[in-house]
Amino acid sequence: MGALDGKRALISGGASGIGRATALLFAQEGAAVAIVDLDGARGKEVEREIHQGGGRGLFILGDVSRAEDCRRAVEETVRAFGGLDILFNNAGIIRRATVVETTEEEWDRVIAVNLRSAFLLSKYAIPYMVQAGGGSIIHNASGWGLVGGPRAASYCASKGALVNLTRAMAIDHGAQNIRVNCICPGDTDTQMLRNEARQLGEEEERFLAEAADRPLRRIAHPQEIARAVLFLASDAASFVTGAVLAVDGGASAD
C-alpha cells in the first residue's frame, strides 16, 4: 500500500520543478492528483505521466493569482475525485531585485502568485476538507522565508509571509482536523533557479556552483523536496501541524 492510498490531492504549479516531482510521487504513493498551472503543454504531459504509471491524474489550466481560477481548480478536483484531502500550495515565481529596482507591477505579481494563491486555494479547499473529516495543507516557502537574501525583496516578503500564514492557519483549523505545515527548500535544480542567473546577468554554471555552498555541498533535486512534502501530507505526520521544515542541505544551520 502507498502512503497516500485513497487520498485526493491538488498541487499548484504542478507542471514543472518541485510541483511536478511531487505530483508524480503522490501518484506513485496512491493519491489521485490534480495539478493547476499556466503551462498547458507541460501540465498535460504530467497528467499523461501519471496515467501511464497507472494513477489518476488531472490537469487544470489556470492562473492561481486569480480567485475564479482557484475556486474552479478546487471544484474541478472535487468533481473529478469526489473530495479533497491534500493541498500543496507550490506555485511560485521570483524577481531578483531590491525594493528600489522592483516595479509596483512586479511586486504585485510576485505577491499574487506566491502568497495570494495560497490564501485563495486554501480558502476554497478547506470547506471540502472539513466535509471529508480533515486534511493536510502544505505551503512551499523558502529558506529565504526564514532569513533574508540579496536582491529578492518581493520574493523574501512573500515567502516570509507564507511561514507565518502556516502558523496562523494551523491554529485556526486544528480543531477541524486540518494540519497546516510549511517546507522551506534551499536552492533546487529547477528552471526557476536557472532563470535567476539570467535575471542577475550571471553565468549559469557559476551561479549554480555558488548556490551549492552549504554543508551538504550541493543543491537539491526536486524529488528530494517532494519526499519532504510527502511526509507532511501523509499519516506519518499525523501529529505535525504548524511546523516549518527547512529542506536546505544545512544552509539555515550554517
242 phi, psi to nearest 5 deg:
75, 10
Distance CA 146, CA 131 (A): 33
Residues across the chain:
254
For residues 50 and 33, is the Cβ–Cβ distance under 8 A? Answer: yes
Catalytic member of 42, 155, 220, 249: 155
SS3 12: strand
CB-based contacts of 8, cutoff 8 Å, min separation 6: 31, 32, 34, 77, 78, 81, 82, 83, 84, 85, 86
From residue 36, give the alpha-carbon distance in Å to each of 20, 46, 125, 152, 176.
11, 11, 14, 25, 25
Element (H, E) at 242: none
DSSP state of 188: B
Work out the angle between the directed axes of helices 204-211 and 191-200 (0-180°, nearest 10): 110
Q: Is 155 a catalytic residue?
A: yes
From residue 200, give the alpha-carbon distance in Å to each of 125, 135, 187, 250.
37, 40, 15, 24
Element (H, E) at 90: none
What positions carry a catalytic annotation?
Answer: 155
